[in-house]
């Protein structure tokens, strides 16, 4: 059994438009130099249009690292999410919607997630049918995440979401919209598996980092947030994830291994022009 380290890059909220041709080239080139795999945490397109997804597919074409992604609410705006999923899948992106995949030995469970709020004040399934339907959507997304985690064999998997599973990483957003930025229901399956890292986007004005109740690190990798916070480096984050390459018949140990963030050292070309929040 040999150990190795995979450099995992993560970002969200690209909001690619029909006029974004070339806007992400420098960013993806830097990611290609800095990382072995890339996770995209939703809002890949701005209005959920297939033409926007086609632009993004061209932008990532030169990137030689494998990509896993989830869709965000913007990707569903035009009711064309199936077309978008096909375009991005044809471009080689592993699009996760309650699914799991393994990239270079890193197990990834992904789902878009949904809103409903956090903690004791989270919306409950009571009263009008439409409220119950809203809550049902969040519960279903949490169940999809749990099923995806259950299918993974890789140890210490990574969870990829668009909506936040905790309140801490949406702080800074207007209090009134917290219930639309995430749901504590997504935190429950994360606590039932040995998850090493959680990534989400959606909260453009949130906080970079938080932890679940059980101490699992949660990172808000929304590109507008990263652009504002790190003026001297490209708007993505890179983490070293230890992986164990197993030979047949070996069983992965159940221990958790810490991750270390790599900081892009060189000055960056600002990518803020590419952001349409």
Task: For helices 81-90 and 50-60, give the axis angle rounded to 10 degrees.
Answer: 20
User: How near is the Cβ of 12 to Fe ion at its closest, in Å?
Assistant: 7
Angstrom distance (rounded) from CA 260 to CA 57: 30
Token digits of residue 268? 């960056």
Rounded CA separation 190/65 (Å) = 26
| Site string (213-242) toward Fe ion, x via CB under 5 A | ------------------------------
* Nearer to Fe ion (CB atom), residue 72 or residue 206: 72
Choosing from 21, 25, 47, 73, the residue that interacts with Fe ion (CB under 5 A) is 73
CB of residue 127 vs Fe ion: minimum separation in angstroms? 26
User: Among the candidate windows 6-14, 56-64, 183-191, 258-266, which touches Fe ion by CB under 5 A?
Assistant: 6-14
Residue 131 CB, shortest distance to Fe ion, in Å, is: 22
Listed residue (257, 273, 70, 270) closest to 157, CA to CA: 257
Stretch of residues binding Fe ion (CB under 5 A), selected from 42-50, 55-63, 166-174, 234-242? 42-50
- Give the count of residues interacting with Fe ion (CB under 5 A): 5
Site string for Fe ion, 171-210 (x = CB under 5 A): -------------------------------x--------
Q: How far is the CB of 276 from Fe ion (least distance, A)?
A: 9
Neighbours of 124 (CB within 10 A): 11
Report the sign of the C-alpha dihedral through residues 215, 137, 277, 65, in that order.
positive
Please identify which residue in 23, 38, 60, 72 interacts with Fe ion, judged by CB under 5 A.
Answer: 72
Would you say the C-alpha torsion 140, 142, 146, 148 has a positive or negative sign? positive
Q: HSE (CB half, 13 Å, CA atoms) of 33? A: 11
Q: Which of 9, 10, 11, 13 binds Fe ion (CB under 5 A)?
A: 13
43 binds Fe ion (CB under 5 A): yes
For residues 106 and 109, what is the distance between their CA atoms, to the nearest angstrom?
Answer: 10
Pairing of strands 67-70, 93-95: parallel
Which residues of the chain form contacts with Fe ion (CB under 5 A)? 13, 43, 72-73, 202
């Amino acid at each position: 059994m040999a150990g190795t380290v995979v450099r995992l890059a993560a970002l969200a909220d690209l909001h690619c438009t029909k006029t974004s041709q070339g806007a992400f080239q420098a960013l993806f080139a830097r990611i290609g130099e800095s990382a072995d795999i890339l996770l995209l945490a939703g809002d890949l397109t701005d209005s959920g249009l297939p033409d926007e997804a086609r632009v993004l597919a061209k932008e990532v074409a030169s990137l030689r690292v494998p990509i896993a992604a989830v869709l965000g609410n913007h990707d569903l705006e035009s009711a064309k999410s199936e077309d978008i999923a096909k375009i991005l899948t044809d471009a080689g992106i592993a699009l996760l919607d309650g699914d799991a995949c393994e990239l270079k030995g890193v197990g990834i469970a992904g789902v878009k997630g949904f809103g409903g709020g956090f903690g004791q004040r989270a919306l409950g399934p009571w009263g009008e049918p439409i409220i119950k339907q809203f809550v049902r959507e969040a519960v279903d997304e949490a169940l999809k995440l749990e099923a995806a985690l259950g299918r993974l064999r890789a140890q210490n998997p990574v969870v990829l979401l668009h909506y936040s599973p905790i309140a801490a990483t949406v702080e800074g957003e207007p209090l009134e919209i917290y219930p639309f930025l995430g749901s504590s229901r997504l935190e429950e399956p994360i606590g039932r598996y040995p998850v090493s890292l959680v990534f989400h986007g959606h909260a453009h004005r949130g906080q970079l980092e938080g932890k679940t109740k059980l101490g699992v690190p949660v990172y808000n990798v929304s590109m507008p947030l990263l652009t504002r916070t790190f003026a001297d480096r490209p708007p993505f984050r890179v983490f070293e994830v230890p992986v164990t390459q197993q030979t047949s018949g070996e069983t992965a140990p159940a221990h958790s291994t810490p991750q270390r963030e790599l900081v892009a050292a060189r000055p960056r070309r600002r990518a803020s022009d590419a952001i349409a929040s």
